[in-house]
Amino acid sequence: MRALNIKLWRDLWNLRSQVVTIALVVAIGVGGFVGLFSVHASLLQARDDFYRSHHLADVFVSLKRAPLALRDRLAAVDGVAEVKTGLVFDAQIDLGDPGAPVTGRFVALDLRRVYQGTQGLNAVQLREGRWPEVGSTLEAVVSESFARARGLHPGDSARAVLNGRLQPVRIVGLAISPEYVFAGSGGAPDEHSFGIWWVQAQRLSELLDLQGAFNQAALRLHDGASEPAVLAALDRLLEPYGSLGAVARRDQLSARVVDDELDQLQVMGTVLPSIFLAVAMFILNGVLARQVATQRAQIASLKALGYGDAAIGWHYIELAMIVSGLGVVAGLALSGVIGRLMLGLYEPVFRFDALAYETTLPLVAVAMAVSVLAAALGTWSAIRAVVRLRPAQAMQPPAPPRYRRTLAERLAPGGRVSARLLMILRDVENRPWRSAFTVGGVAMAMALQIAGAFWLDAIAYIVDMQFRQVQPGNVLLSFQPQAADNVTVDLRRLPGVLQAEGYRSEAVRVRLGTRVQDASVTGLMPQSRLLRVVDAHSGEVALPDDGIVLSSLLARSVGAQVGDTVTVEFRLGHRERVQLPVAAVVHTLMGQQAWMALPALHRATRDGAGLSDAALLVDDAAMPAFWAAIKATPRVAAVFDKTSVQRAFDERTSYNMGAFSAILTVFAIAMAVGITYNAARIALSERAWDLASLRVLGMTRGEVSVLLLGQLAVELLLALPLGMLAGRGLAELLMALMSSDNIDFPVVIAPATYAWAAIIVLAAGAASALLVRRRVDRFDLVAVLKVRE
């Protein structure tokens, strides 16, 4: 076998440029697979360790007010192992700057258990500073993510409106908690305008006049306990106390966002590397098939000398395995770069106790096995050709392809096509599988570029939809308790207010048959202009005088369609249960939402008129005076400043999505270069004798290059529309796999994204063409013409 080994290394050296490009594509696939899954595994391990060490609860309940004596009844529920009750209150906070106030969630902290090290469920971990102490000034430990976003440090002071009274608060530490990895109001995380403030429990109960009561409970279940049965029992027990419904951990805001992020990362780690490995398989097939074709005489000689089909077949398998092995080795090194880069993007978002990048041996083994399988599949047709080749047959030159009239010839006026174009088109059309592999591979490279860049288009669409169409106003206010309907008259008197509209939001449970979903319903004034119901496909939707409008996500959850009658259970107030017809289903981007006309909502609740929120349009020039007035209004519990929230959102998403898009762009370029370069090299090896003959007959280097590279140009042009379609399909596949019950992001691809993807692919093709053109220029005509085909 020594002769075959020598031949193997000679073949590798002769194919070195193609080996490098194939190995590069394999390396990107392996690097992406191992890197992204290692990040996923690292985040998953960090999450599980954080949840376990800090005792994240299994069930969460929010309610209006319940006596502490009820705690024992909660603990007695079948399946409940541990109960922790506490107080939570959202309040407006003035950070001392001229900008908008922020919303703080004040959470009771039992200092006695903190100092004893027995916090129990949802334990808070101090990251900087110290714990609060009892004194004349209210002290707080603030969530680390919020403090970093707002530039807060221990020693800073703020003022909070607690129970209608302005209360100074001193920040003494920064902390994290498994309950609030992500925090926000309205069902979406918001680290810039919403923070968690842990304060001493007894002091908070006094400030809120809630001594001897609780409004939040967390529970741990016994192993094997029936979660649905426990949730149902808790709802029955807590219904008289204004419960909003018990929710399992997976439905709690922070845990749900963490799970969604991890699921999306897993999808990316599966789909994108698979594309690279599939492309590598196709390239290997083309290279080795051509290698077998050019080595017919050598294979015949080896068989005549006694080498069997298995030995010769294994020789070519070894060639593929070495190429794949080089790609695996480079990919494992690349995976560390990709993984640490991605982990760096996630680290500021996931504030776990510890976060370290690790690659496991099973993951490496899977990557190697997949790469070997891809290489084996890529060489299968070439191996079959080796086995079928008989020595006597192989000694003869291969039969030339049967050239037929091409489609262009048949469609051209008079059937006349220039000789150069005819040579190019015949070579493309009469080698359909090779051309299809090239076109398909380039199309997938273009699709990958589009799939990486379209996120920025989708985010721009979301910003336009949520911040401009749904909410033309620039300020939202929440009242605690509800305000009278005429509060908008007072709001219009505030500095800079141009328009003010009130609305009402209520927590509800929507039923249809056996399907149930917790949601919120918003009652809007007729002809509301500052907060609107907008369908992503058809635009603004007018609310009916009676009936209810459901978001597409909510309608899908309960299986409702227009014309159905749903049961709506209000979770607070008189807790009315009403039957309402579904007047419309609106395609929205996120959230389990419903809408009604405000008068209809008042009638349904049967507890009188009232407003929970207001939307305002404020003159930008008057903002400082407006915010000063709002900070002096005790009834305003929470504030949403569209400008600052949008700015923070744009900064965060543009950086993360920009980095992700840049990575995929580099990978797409590498894939396109690998495909086009190998296609051009294969074409050169097949047509070297013909091209050399044309040179001898008087054609220039440029004319010969046009005949060779014209084929590549045709394949690139064919790949462009297919790449656009594949990019759209890949984007839709990713969105379908990443969608959840609360998110339905659109697939929006701007024309500029398609154009840039096409430019990148064409540039990669041009670079490959230049590399091959240099080889044409260095042709040794005598040596090429001596080659026996």
DSSP string, 676-718: HHHHHHHHHHHHHHHHHHHHHTT--HHHHHHHHHHHHHHHHHH
Tokens of 36: 């992204």
Distance CA 727, CA 410 (A): 32
User: Taking phi first (over 0 means left), then psi (-120 to 50 degrees means alpha), and beta for anything else, what does residue 226 get?
Assistant: beta
Helix axis angle, 16-53 to 642-696, nearest 10°: 160
Above 90 in pLDDT, residue 782? Answer: no
CA 750 to chain centre: 18
Collect all residues with Cβ–Cβ distance below 8 Å to 206 and sequence separation of at least 6. Answer: none
Q: Are 297 and 395 in contact (CB under 8 A)?
A: yes
User: Angle formed by the axes of helices 751-777 and 432-463, to 10°?
Assistant: 150
Q: What is the pLDDT of residue 158?
A: 92
* Residue 103 or residue 667, greater confidence: 103
The token pair that represents 453 in the structure block: 């860049």
pLDDT at residue 135, rounded to an integer: 76
Q: Which two tokens stand for residue 567?
A: 């049961």
- Can you say how many angstroms the Cα of residue 667 is from the centroid of all Cα atoms in its chain? 18
Q: From its phi and psi, is residue 671 left (phi > 0), alpha (psi between -120 and 50) or beta? A: alpha
> Mean pLDDT for the chain?
81
Rounded Cα distance between 21 and 678, Å, is 8
DSSP string, 731-765: HHHHHHHH--SSB-------HHHHHHHHHHHHHHH
CB burial readout 86-115, b (16+ within 10 A) else e: bbebebbbbbeeeebbbbbbbbbbbbeebe
- Per-residue pLDDT tens digits for 528-552: 889 999 988 888 888 988 899 999 8
Quote the pTM value: 0.78
Give 789's pLDDT tier (boundaries 50, 70, 90): very low
Contact 331, 27 (CB under 8 A): yes
> How much is the pLDDT for 196?
93
- Which of the pair, 452 or 285, is modelled with greater confidence? 452
Query: What residue type is assigned to position 501 of the chain?
Result: E
SS3 678: helix
Which amino acid, 256? R
Q: What are phi and psi of 366, to 5 degrees?
A: -65, -45
**Rounded to whole angstroms, how far apart are CA atoms 546 and 583?**
8
Q: By percentage, how much of the chain surpasses pLDDT 70?
A: 82
Beta strands per DSSP E along 135-212: 138-143, 157-162, 165-176, 194-200
pLDDT number for residue 403? 55
- H/E stretch holding 64 reads strand 59-67
Q: Tally the C-alpha atoms within 13 A of residue 298's C-alpha that lie toward its C-beta.
A: 14
Lowest mean pLDDT among 166-180, 301-315, 675-689: 675-689
**Nearest CA-CA partner of 675 in 164, 242, 287, 131:** 287
Query: What local confidence, expressed as pLDDT, does residue 788 receive?
Result: 47
Q: Which of 276-280, 322-326, 328-332, 720-724 has the lowest mean pLDDT?
A: 276-280
- pLDDT category at 57 given cuts 50, 70, 90 is very high
Residue 592 DSSP symbol: -
CA separation for the pair 448, 669 (Å, rounded): 10
Q: Which of the pair, 709 or 35, is modelled with greater confidence?
A: 35
pLDDT over 70 (residue 169): yes
pLDDT score, position 253:
84
pLDDT 10s digits, 135-159: 778 999 999 989 988 889 999 999 9
Query: For the residues 639-656, what does the mean pLDDT come to?
Result: 77
Weakest mean pLDDT among 75-84, 151-160, 426-435, 710-719? 426-435
Contact (CB, 8 A) for 778 and 386: no
35 residue type, one letter: G
The token duo for 151 is 């530039």
Determine what percent of the chain is predicted with pLDDT higher than 90. Answer: 21
Helix axes 253-294, 296-304, angle to 10 degrees: 70
